[in-house]
Amino acid sequence: MGGAASLALPWAAGPHPVGCADVMVGRTRQGLFFRLFYPCQPREGAERPLWIPRYEYCGGLADFVNRSRRWCAPLLSFAFGACRVPVSWNGPFKPGSTRYPLIIFSHGLGAFRTVYSAVCAELASRGLVVAALEHRDHSASATYFCPAEAGEAAAAAEALREEWIPYRRVPPGQKEFHFRNKQDSIDLTKVAVMGHSFGGITAVLATVKEPRFRCAVALDAWMFPLDNALYPEVSKPVLFINTEKFQTPESVAKMKRLSSRNSQTKIITILGSVHQSQTDFTFLTGKFVNRIFSTRGSLDPYKCLDINSRAALAFLQRHLNLNEEFDQWDHLLEGIGDSVAAEAPLCRSSL
């Protein structure tokens, strides 16, 4: 696809309209910040939120790809600044006949809470609530919190003052494994967890730290930060959905080690995809920006989104006991279908 049609996020295909809202819990760095995607009631003329909420994220993305903020941040703002997410901003929540499952989504290095809006909205349109976290451990390209002020006189200033947390590279002289292994601690308590890249391995580790997570979906997980000592502790089923152009033999070996210990853990690969194919960038970049971010493989982005979301839904139905028809996509979990394969073709790549 090309032209304007390729520079917009897709509308979610499920039966529920999708709403979203930003939630900040706690007035310290240790608090939570996330975008919530949920089934909502239809609303005429609903506002659609900006995909990049603040210009500061453009500067953070420039830092992450090691480009000069002077030219890269304005370029990113020009390319993405007007893009809106096709959901209802703060739309009225749609009560369900049963309670909605909750999925916690953990972003990859250098991302932030809106970068996976397409897959999060797709899951919400199928009757799930998705909380897309924005981490405050310097793994996001940028994020912020609004610290509490002392005294009533500062009440008005509280809503205005923000403290920003930039992306942090591995300091010189420190080994990357030990630096990354300490980041991204999650202490959330609902149902299932999902993530991409660094967030993918975070999702796997979250099943160890929080027993109430019943399974994990890891999109092109960067397995490097997984300490060998933690393998015996990962007992919950994991769905690894890999792209064709990212994984290394070492990373796949770690996945296979987990699958050998749990027959419900699955490994599949989406053919013709690259690491950024599982992010919104694949829908929003033309040829010029694609040279910076390498966001597109040969597979149509819409087809890639379908495989990601349908495989995830089939897996979640199986392990969360959902009363839906997502089992119609069970074949994807075995690597059966167009543009999908079992296990993982190998390609050495940098993060």
List active site positions.
197, 220, 275
CA distance 216 to 258: 12
Q: 């897309």: which residue's tokens? A: 132
CB half-sphere exposure, 79, CA atoms < 13 A: 22
CA distance 332 to 341: 8
Query: What distances in angstroms separate CA 9 from CA 4, 18, 225, one per listed residue?
Result: 11, 14, 31
Residue among 321, 320, 342 nearest 331 (CA): 342
CB atoms within 10 A of CB 252: 19
- Plot region of 71 (φ>0 → left; ψ -120 to 50 → alpha; else → beta): alpha
